[in-house]
């Protein structure tokens, strides 16, 4: 199979879908890998390292035109729509729920698109969110340390323990990988940290890995409101169900917060858990709503591109190999966890959450004959 790895064009996106080590594995399995010149530049991977791994360095048009499997990091952007076509498989973070225009382009092209973020494992977890989640949680807290400074219009706090003055308070929504990452770093700097979650089991799993300056509370309205009232920083680390139209933190609840407080939305679900969240970029990362400073950059790990690329490429490689070795149809048919990541196929929307959120017709992958029938052919 011909696998194309383009240079990402999203604002300040420095990650690459593959490393020389993962390219070498793809080549060893008999696949032809086209890497766009400069694709690894943001992660300090020069073209010649990809070449030594067996890749062909190509121009952008050639990578998109000749590949059968498009292997990316971020969603398809408007300049890339023209390359979408029937017979192409797109494998990347898509977040189609938040990108109606992109979803239109995917459906109109007839391509097959598989989203990293929706692939599951045997436990129901999302293994391709995991490697970026802890990074995003820690990175989100590092960004909080920056944007809470007076230089950026923040509350002028140093998020660490300083002798003789009040210790800053950090509230974290979610005890998953991102929440744990944020809490671990915030606590290590001496802040008073509170984690809110609805899963007692999840809180128990992180309790013994965190120091004594971390409090774990069940997430109910009373506890959440108390945290909003006293916290200097609120870090949201939960993915809000795509079909829900309500919010955990409403616009009205922001009025409980200190005027100097900062919200960091690591999950960055537009109008999701936090009603006032809207995606921003590294170029223009902050804004105010109800007087509260918000940081809602949706690709935080890109700021730590070398670490993020190595982690993401290792996590996605087994799935890329399945798609390339078996062909996408057979791979999707045989692996229900990979199939859960299917966003669309030959003009049919297959992701229920996006269908409900955008008011579109959809079909479950299992209801599409060539994805459910053992006799269906491989492509």
CA distance 105 to 99: 10
Angle, CA 362 vertex, CA 359 and CA 363 arms, to 5°: 160
- The catalytic position among 232, 265, 269, 298 is 269
SS3 content of the chain, % helix, strand, coil (to 5): 40, 15, 40
Q: What element of type H or E holds 61?
A: helix 60-66
CA distance 299 to 302: 6
Q: Over the range 239-273, which residues count as b (16 or more CB within 10 Å of their CB) and which as e?
A: bbebeeeebbbeeebbebbeebbbbbbbbbbbebb
Which residue intervals of 189-304 are DSSP H helices?
200-207, 221-230
Catalytic residue list contains 122: no
Task: Specify the pairing of strand 342-345 against strand 348-349.
Answer: antiparallel
CA distance 139 to 145: 10
Whether the CB-CB separation of 134 and 181 falls below 8 Å is answered with yes
Which among 139, 336, 161 has a CA at the least distance from the CA of 232? 161
Token output for 154 = 């923040």
- The catalytic position among 95, 99, 247, 345 is 95
Catalytic residue list contains 269: yes
Angle, CA 233 vertex, CA 229 and CA 239 arms, to 5°: 100
Angle, CA 168 vertex, CA 291 and CA 220 arms, to 5°: 70
Whether the CB-CB separation of 257 and 228 falls below 8 Å is answered with yes
Catalytic positions are 95, 269
């Amino acid at each position: 199979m011909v696998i194309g790895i383009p240079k990402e064009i999203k604002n300040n996106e420095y990650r690459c879908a593959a490393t020389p080590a993962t390219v070498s594995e793809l080549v060893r399995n008999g696949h032809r890998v086209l890497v766009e010149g400069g694709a690894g530049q943001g992660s300090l991977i020069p073209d010649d390292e990809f070449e030594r791994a067996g890749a062909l360095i190509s121009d952008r048009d050639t990578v998109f035109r000749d590949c059968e499997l498009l292997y990316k990091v971020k969603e398809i952007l408007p300049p890339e729509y023209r390359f979408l076509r029937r017979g192409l498989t797109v494998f990347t973070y898509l977040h189609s729920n938040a990108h109606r225009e992109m979803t239109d382009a995917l459906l109109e092209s007839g391509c097959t698109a598989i989203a990293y973020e929706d692939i599951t494992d045997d436990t129901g977890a999302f293994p391709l969110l995991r490697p970026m989640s802890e990074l995003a949680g820690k990175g989100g807290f590092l960004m909080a340390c920056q944007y809470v400074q007076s230089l950026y219009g923040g509350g002028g706090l140093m998020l660490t323990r300083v002798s003789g003055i009040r210790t800053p308070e950090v509230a974290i929504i979610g005890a998953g990988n991102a929440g744990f990452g944020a809490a671990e770093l915030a606590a290590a700097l001496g802040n008073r940290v509170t984690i809110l979650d609805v899963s007692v089991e999840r809180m128990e799993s992180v309790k013994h890995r965190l120091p004594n300056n971390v409090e774990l509370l069940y997430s109910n309205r009373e506890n959440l409101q108390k945290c909003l009232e006293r916290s200097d920083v609120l870090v949201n680390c939960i993915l809000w169900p795509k079909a829900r139209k309500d919010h955990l933190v409403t616009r009205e609840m922001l009025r409980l917060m200190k005027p100097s407080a900062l919200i960091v939305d690591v999950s960055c679900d537009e109008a999701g858990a936090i009603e006032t969240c809207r995606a921003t970029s590294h170029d223009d990362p902050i804004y105010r709503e109800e007087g509260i400073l918000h940081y809602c950059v949706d690709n935080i790990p890109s700021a730590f591109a070398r670490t993020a690329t190595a982690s993401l490429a290792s996590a996605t490689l087994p799935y890329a190999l399945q798609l390339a070795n078996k062909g996408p149809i057979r791979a999707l048919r045989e692996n229900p966890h990979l199939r859960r990541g299917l966003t669309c196929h030959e003009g049919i929307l297959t992701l229920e959450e996006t269908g409900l959120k955008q008011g579109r017709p959809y079909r479950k992958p299992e209801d599409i004959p060539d994805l459910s029938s053992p006799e269906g052919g491989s492509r």
